[in-house]
Amino acid sequence: MCELLGMSFNLPVNPRISFRGFRLRGKYNRDGWGLAFYPDESAQIFKEPIKAGESALSEFLKNYTEIRSKIFIGHVRYASRGGISHKNTHPFSRELFGREYVFAHNGNLEYKDLELGSFKPIGETDSEHAFCHLLHCIKQRKVVDWKEEDFEWLAEKLIEINKYGSFNCIFSDGTHLFCYSDKNGYNNLRFVHRKPPYGKIKLLDDDWDIELDKDNFIDLSKEKEPEQTGYIIATRELTDEKWLKFEPGELIVFKDGRIIYSNKRPSEGMEMDVLIAIRRSPHRISLREISNKTGRSMEEVTRAVRSLLKKKYIRQDRRDVVEWYEESATFYTEPSRRREIDELMSSYSGD
């Protein structure tokens, strides 16, 4: 099967550890490899239709420390649609509204009915066809600067594409990293949060040629700047860290090393602040009280509560005689999800 890699950090980083491990996944995905990143507003893509482990270019990149970016997208290919060639090797790129989009996909789609508009594939893959269709839809919607309502629309659009087959994808506009995991659980993506204080991690691939201690560990504190924080997304875990699985049909949008949107879980920032306020309250809590506790405006709190209700993390108290958006409406956390919420709170606070 093909495998995907994504990275989103708050500061430009070198993908030394993640790329070295991911590159070895090319042993089982022999038909091509690619790595894309953004040195500035434009994208740089290195890719070849050969096994990553046999590539002199790939060998050079894994040791080249001058590559730095806040966003990376990687792919190793096992050909299922289209011949083994450069034009069929991921990631693919196109310009739209002055932004350079980069896209990689894992899965198989029956794609003939997907409209393309002005975007035409160069190769023969279902992946590039889906990418062109997606850009056509974004162009039709006129999305230049992404907003939360656009993320919600995108989640529905990706689920719609997913109806044509198996579909995991990672793509970027140079600012956001969009990661979608198949709605039927096919090769679901997973992610890990990298943040200080950094300790040691154990590598899952025993033949990584990287500086290890005698127990096959690497000390991240020697690899990362203390202010660096972000996420790594992959088809399979690369390390022994606590990787979390995407929910089926989940879209997570990362920006500057933070989760700013998910259609399945609370996003960092406003939604988590509101959820924490509700969970820590010893009794039901009103919208007005949440606003006072979090220092957020009523508009922000109402928007977060709407999202958390939709994702089934909270409930409105049934004794209320007002609508959920009224200041006096009261809420409590969903009892069946409190353990999950506590884990999210612990991860969010760094406890």
Catalytic residue ranges: 2
Which three-class secondary structure string do you get for the chain? CCEEEEEEEEEEECCHHHHHHHHHHHHCCCCEEEEEECCCCCCEEEEECCCHHHCHHHHHHHHCCCCCEEEEEEEEECCCCCCCCHHHCCCEEEEECCEEEEEEEECCECCCCCCCCCCCCCCCCHHHHHHHHHHHHHHHHCCCCCCHHHHHHHHHHHHHHHCCECCEEEEECCCEEEEECCCCCCCCCEEEEECCCCCEEEECCCCCCCCCCCCCEEEHHHCCCCCCCEEEEECCCCECCCCEECCCCCEEEEECCEEEEECCCCCCCHHHHHHHHHHHCCCCEEHHHHHHHHCCCHHHHHHHHHHHHHCCCEEECCCCCCCCCCCCCEEEECHHHHHHHHHHHHHHHCC
Contact 140, 121 (CB under 8 A): no
Q: How many Cβ atoms from other residues are within 10 Å of residue 145's Cβ?
A: 9
Classify each residue of 296-312 as buried b or exposed e, where b means 16 or more C-beta atoms within 10 Å of its C-beta: beeebbbbbbebbeebe
